[in-house]
Amino acid sequence: MGNIIFIGMPAVGKSTIGVVAAKHLGYQFIDTDLLIQEKEGRLLREIIAREGLDGFLKIEDRINAEVQAERAVIAPGGSVVYCENAMKHYKDIGTIVYLKASYETISKRLGNAKKRGVVLKDNQTLEELYNERTALFEKYADITVCEDGLDLEETFERVLATLEDGNTFA
């Protein structure tokens, strides 16, 4: 299908790198958080407040698993790795690129995680969330690009070089 799907923690630049990559490649760009809001007719925080985290994950799983695209860069929310149907679908339609950053980098970029909309379980720390998700990102990734110490342009160049080396896109 020639799609590229970026996964990773909040603040790794899935959407930012995604938009730049899509422009460079002449691909469509899809931010699935915006897609969820559009299809549900409410903001993510409203969905989570009303449906709870489990209810949100069901919606996220369904909508991500329904994405139909060719030659697209797709940036799902960081919690998509909890969504088995969605991740299976993404494996089927494209190459999954894990934008990896250390906990220290994520923590520094996010500042206050709650204010940035990062959903934590009761009494869960950002570091615990990071450790939990990292194992899932690594499980699903076809390609991993470490961005520690890189600025946005350097990260984009590394992503592009990695994709070209793997002959991932046409």
Q: How far is CA 56 from CA 42, 45, 52, 141, in A?
A: 12, 9, 6, 23
Q: Is residue 157 part of a domain?
A: yes
Q: Is residue 112 part of a domain?
A: yes
Query: Pairing relation of β-strands 72-75 and 143-146?
Result: unpaired
User: What tokens appear for 83 in the block?
Assistant: 């969504």
Residue 42 belongs to domain spanning: 3-162
Q: Is residue 120 part of a domain?
A: yes
Q: Is residue 169 part of a domain?
A: no
Q: Is residue 168 part of a domain?
A: no
Q: What is the layout of strands, in order, in the sheet containing 28-31?
A: 28-31, 72-75, 3-7, 94-100, 143-146
Nearest to 18 by CA among 77, 88, 81, 66: 77
End-to-end CA distance of the chain: 10
Distance CA 148, CA 146 (A): 6
pLDDT along the chain (170 residues), means of 10: 90 92 94 96 91 93 97 95 97 95 90 68 88 95 91 87 65
User: What tokens appear for 98 in the block?
Assistant: 């894990």
Q: Is residue 170 part of a domain?
A: no
- Residue 2's pLDDT is 87
Q: Is residue 151 part of a domain?
A: yes
- Residue 170's pLDDT is 37
Q: Is-contact 103 85, C-beta < 8 A?
A: no
What CATH number does the domain containing 98 carry?
Answer: 3.40.50.300
- Residue 59's pLDDT is 97
Distance CA 62, CA 85 (A): 7
Tally of structural domains, the chain: 1
Q: Is residue 75 part of a domain?
A: yes
What are 124-168's pLDDT values in tens digits? Answer: 888 999 999 999 999 999 999 999 888 888 988 898 888 877 644
- Residue 166's pLDDT is 61
